[in-house]
Amino acid sequence: MQTVTIKTTTKEYDVVIGSGLLAQCGERIFSVLGKCRLAVITDSNVEKHHLKTVMSSLEKAGMDCKSYTFPAGEEHKNMGTLSDILEFLAKERFSRADAVVALGGGVTGDMAGFAAAVYLRGIRYVQLPTSLLACVDSSVGGKTAIDLAGGKNLAGAFLQPELVLCDVDALKTLPQEEFTNGLCEAIKYGVLFDEELFCDFENLTETSLISLIERCITHKGRVVANDEFEKGERKFLNLGHTIGHAVEKCSHYQIKHGYAVAIGLSMIARAGEKLGITEKGTAERIELLFKKHNLPTDTVFSTEELLNVALSDKKRDSDSITLVVPKKIGACILQTEPIENLKKYIALGGEKDGI
């Protein structure tokens, strides 16, 4: 069992990583929140595997809990599902003393967290991530959101959870494709901050998983502690996301987030090399590692298609855009560019010559 404590300006909380945590969630949540009512929000996939374990653990700890299940998939991370969750909370008369429990992957965590942020102007919530992507990234740091027709995560709020329990046993029930989806966000921390971590993903074993997750979360916790509201340093965590979100949206979310970010990260590294920002050979190392884990490194979408979507990305600051560009494995820079230069990065990133 490993614990990382996240210290932000608004809250201090533990992220616990280990085995058997869903079955122990009742006593652990009770010790943090005290006696209150809990709304467990999950999706139709996760419900089958884990809802019973979680509900019986919560009940055993003496907590009154109700559950709400929405249909699985990024296409349901929208205003309609958020509204259904909020109506459920109101119908069940949850109060400000109560809390939401987000049981599932990134979609559930983002949406249940957003529901907690706006219901009664904000109630507490706990994250029980069941996907690798949610464990290493989205369950930690307090970003909550839904997608709008205009783009991914365009409506949301910052609200830190009270506790995060990453049960690595839940990762065993994941389809391989879903596990691979999370690997990209984990490898991202290696490219950003930690060459040794990057190398360790080349030799991934089941036994090293708890330590790898702990190292990713430690990096994320440090960044979030320094810049909770993404005014500066937290922008680094968007490595691969500007082009990645565009790929995801162009595919109508048929390409999963981690796969799309792998494409975005490969493209920005290739563009960085051609522009002389990125050390030679870096893009190739990144591509080789992604390929080893069956992650894609390029896309069928054209520069124009990606550009149109990327221009509506929320990370754009009016006439400029801040891109995260690798200098080498383990070190990246924030590159603020006039908006018209984005086209150059996408076009250069799409060319594969010399790699």
The residue (of 43 and 137) whose beta carbon lies closer to ligand GLY is 137
Residue that has been written with the tokens 């340093």 in this structure:
233
The residue (of 222 and 234) whose beta carbon lies closer to ligand GLY is 234
Q: What is the largest CA-CA distance in the chain?
A: 62
Terminal alpha carbon distance of the chain: 41
Among 74, 137, 147, 200, binds ligand GLY (CB under 6 A): 137
In the complex, least distance from residue 138 CB atom to ligand GLY, rounded to whole angstroms = 6
Tell whether residue 349 is a contact of ligand GLY (CB under 6 A): no
Q: Of 69-77, 133-141, 156-164, 339-347, which segment contacts ligand GLY by CB under 6 A?
A: 133-141
Q: Of 84-92, 137-145, 152-160, 322-330, which segment contacts ligand GLY by CB under 6 A?
A: 137-145
Token pair, residue 355, equals 């790699």
**Beta strand 124-129 with 163-167: parallel, antiparallel or unpaired?**
parallel
In the complex, least distance from residue 143 CB atom to ligand GLY, rounded to whole angstroms = 5
In the complex, least distance from residue 188 CB atom to ligand GLY, rounded to whole angstroms = 9
- Rounded distance, CA 237 to CA 259, Å? 16
Helices 176-193 + 282-292 axis angle, to 10: 160
Sequence-distant (≥ 6) Cβ neighbours of residue 206 within 8 angstroms: none
Residue 303: count of CB within 10 angstroms of its CB: 17
Instruction: Kindly report the backbone phi and psi dihedral angles of residue 282, in degrees, each rounded to the nearest multiple of 5, phi listed first.
Output: -65, -45
Which residues are designated catalytic?
121, 143, 185, 220, 230, 234, 238, 241, 245, 257
Question: Which of helix, strand or coil describes residue 334?
Answer: strand
Q: Of 134-142, 194-202, 287-295, 329-337, which segment contacts ligand GLY by CB under 6 A?
A: 134-142
| Four-CA torsion 350, 73, 290, 274, nearest 10 degrees | 20
Tell whether residue 76 is a contact of ligand GLY (CB under 6 A): no
Taking residues 235 to 274 in sequence order and writing x for each that binds ligand GLY by CB under 6 A, - otherwise, the string is: --x-------------------------------------
CB 164 within 8 A of CB 129: yes
In the complex, least distance from residue 36 CB atom to ligand GLY, rounded to whole angstroms = 27
Amino acid, res. 345: Y
Taking residues 141 to 170 in sequence order and writing x for each that binds ligand GLY by CB under 6 A, - otherwise, the string is: x-x---------------------------
Q: Give me the residue whose beta carbon is nearest to ligand GLY.
A: 237
Footprint on this chain of ligand GLY (rule: CB under 6 A): 137-138, 141, 143, 234, 237
